[in-house]
Structure 1
Amino acid sequence: MSMAVVGLLAGMALGFAGYFGGFGAFVLVAALGAIGFVAGRFLDGDLEPGDFFRSRTRGSDRDRRR
């Protein structure tokens, strides 16, 4: 399934939730969709739990301190 079709289906689901359930349902469907997307990336092996918890390296800050 192409990403365009996936985007179309996600947009339609959000549209139905917003129309029939109001703004709260729209936000709930969007949040659960984002959680499902991240979970799917974990299961595919594209993400690892450490990707969210690694500290950022500040190379420019270290260079200025020298």
Structure 2
Amino acid sequence: MSATVTGMAVGAVLGVVAVAFGFWAFVLVAVFMAVGALVGRIVSGRIDVSSLVDALRGRRSSS
């Protein structure tokens, strides 16, 4: 699936949730989508967890 199709699907889901359930449901679905994307990238190996933890702690990497 291309990035354009993925973006359209995400936008459609968020739009439907915003119209049907309101702002806070929209925010909750957006947060869950972001967490799901992060977990998917970790599982596929695109994100190194130790580097991510170091970045969140404020440590800088020389690589």
Give the match for residue 34 of structure 2.
Answer: 34
Structure 1 vs Structure 2 CA RMSD: 1.5
Question: Can you give the 5+ residue segments of structure 1 that lack an aligned partner in the other structure?
Answer: 58-66
Give the match for residue 8 of structure 2.
Answer: 8
Once superposed, which parts of structure 1, at least 4 consecutive aligned residues long, lie more than 6 Å away? none
Give SS of 1:46's match. coil
TM-score (norm 2): 0.84
Cα distance between partner residues in 2 of 1:21 and 1:3? 27
Instruction: Give the count of matched residue pairs.
Output: 58
Give the match for residue 24 of structure 2.
Answer: 24
Question: Can you give the 5+ residue segments of structure 2 that lack an aligned partner in the other structure?
Answer: none
Cα distance between partner residues in 1 of 2:53 and 2:21? 35
Give SS of 1:28's match. helix
TM-score (norm 1): 0.81
**Bigger radius of gyration, 1 or 2?**
1
Residue 5 of structure 2 aligns with an amino acid whose one-letter code is V
